[in-house]
Amino acid sequence: MSDPDNNERDEMLKVIRTTQDRRQKWQEEGERPLWKNLSMIGALGWLIVAPTLLGVFLGRWLDSKLGTGVTFSGALTFAGACFGFFLAWHRMNEK
């Protein structure tokens, strides 16, 4: 059987090593340039906006064809925003 204290200790050591590695990398490479940070913000914004707008347009089209009021517009707008935030989250955790 594994000891819970050893598992916690191993996790803590892993976190400490990761933090030290990140700090060392930052000291060697320095801070990212401003233009890279701005381009990342823009790319993340479009990752959220594009699926949301696609949901809006598809929902409006379905609502007009089926005469359902705003049922599909609301649902697909929400689904598009959720998908966009998922894409942005995935992109941010890539690096």
Q: How many domains does the chain have?
A: 2
- Looking at the structure, tell me whether residues 52 and 23 fall in a common domain: no
Asked whether the CA dihedral 54, 55, 56, 60 is positive or negative, the reply is: positive
Contact 76, 58 (CB under 8 A): yes
Give the residue numbers spanning the domain of 87: 33-95
| Helices and strands in the chain: count of H runs, count of E runs | 3, 0
* 12 and 26, same domain (yes or no): yes
What pLDDT, on the 0 to 100 scale, is given for residue 2? Answer: 59
How much is the pLDDT for 95? Answer: 61
Per-residue pLDDT of the chain (95 residues; tens, 9 = 90+): 557 678 888 899 999 999 999 899 888 888 878 888 888 889 899 999 999 999 999 999 999 999 999 999 999 999 999 999 999 999 988 86
Token pair for 2: 């594994």
| Statement to judge: residues 61 and 25 lie in one domain | no
Task: Give me 32's structure tokens.
Answer: 């990212």
Long-range contacts of 45-49 (CB under 8 A, 24+ apart): 47/84, 47/87, 47/88, 47/91, 48/81, 48/84, 48/85, 48/87, 48/88, 49/84
- Residue 52: burial class (beta carbons within 10 Å; 0-12, 13-18, 19+): buried
